Amino acid sequence: MIWKNIPKLSNFVDPEFAHNLAILFLKLGVYPKIKNENLPVKLKNLLFNNPIGLAAGFDKNALIIKEISDLGFGFSEIGTVTPLPQYGNRKPRIFRLKEDKAIINRNGFNNEGMIKIKERLKKYKNNVTRDKSFLIGINIGPNKNSLDRIEDYKLLAYELGSYADYITINVSSPNTVGLRRLQSIKFLKHVINSVNDGLLQNNCNLLKKPVFIKISPDIETNLMRNIIKLCVNENISGLIISNTTINRPRTLKSDKKKEIGGLSGSPLFSKSTELLIEANRMKKKFKANIFLIATGGVLDGFSAYVKILSGAHLIQLYTSLAYKGPIISKSILNELKTYLVRDNIKNLDKIRGIANSFEEAILIAKKGF
């Protein structure tokens, strides 16, 4: 099948060129049309057809929403979007670590800005033939040279809120200098209030517009505990765990491993999953009614199953799309359903977050209950 060979062909060209070429092919309709597999997940007032979504970073500019839906994903996250258009960091800024099934990027929120992206979203939402069951998140962040980054979040929420099924506050990218400081409770509370103000000014119902915070895999346990408490106090719907890491595991083999930027893909799987389990543990302890979206190293149905056992309501991927091609969503869902049948699971709620450790989640996924 030609689609299985696309990742192999992309190995011979620059990663960013390959990404742009993939966007072009999708816009031209050169891709497999895949039936959207039904494995529904309810999240507040939203019903997702299936729990597998495309993470922010692929469709930065809302160019291929329908096409991503056609690939069988349950949802897609646009962005990261900034108020003004932004070139991002100097090229080259994306590096494949083929031996490690990983990517390092230092993009720096390159996007066409909220006004142009808003127009595309408006056009898509007004299309009466669109698949209304396919949901859209919008990931927002400040411009690199902004004089008031907190105000940027408010402006983005105001301009884009009505076109999003949910909003993601990005305070964890390692590729914008100083951004991760906004994860501290002192600043994060101001960011949340700013986003809520923007949504209210746009007449968005805060109780019906889920807002998530995307956190770094490199944060300390104590900070995450305080972030979860803040989510409860400020009516935040949950966390996306996690963004890319600036750490480099000793197991990395690629000669690109020393490149500066955020590492994603297979090497992030254990680290992000352990953080997910810890977040789920704290959620239970504080009786926090929040949702957890897992991203980081999901390459197949097995890793997706481990994420659900560890507490994930929804799962996002990106790097595995680069390595396995456009049929990745169907492949993961089919494999995931095989595990569910093996373990006689008819409702994901019954197993979500049942594992108390990463090792236990792996063991259950391998051998069943």
Would you name the residues annotated as active-site residues?
173
- Spatial CB neighbours of 103, under 8 Å, sequence gap ≥ 6: 15, 94, 95, 96, 97, 263, 264, 265, 319, 322
CA distances from 186 to 25, 182, 190 (A): 44, 8, 7
Amino acid at 79: G
- The answer to whether 227 and 278 have CB atoms below 8 angstroms apart is no
How many angstroms separate the CA atoms of 255 and 1, rounded?
A: 31
| SS3 assignment, position 357 | coil
* Residues 1-4: contacts with CB under 8 Å, at least 24 apart: 1/327, 3/31, 3/32, 3/325, 3/326, 3/327, 4/325, 4/327
Q: Which residues pair with 168 in a beta bridge?
A: 139, 212
Where would I find the H helices in 90-139?
114-125
CA distances from 205 to 201, 235, 292 (A): 10, 12, 21
DSSP symbol at 28: T
* CA neighbours closer than 13 Å in the CB half-sphere of residue 308: 27
Question: Tokens 């990463």, residue?
Answer: 358
Q: Which residues pair with 81 in a beta bridge?
A: 140
- The answer to whether 56 and 111 have CB atoms below 8 angstroms apart is no
Cα-to-chain-centroid distance, residue 178:
21
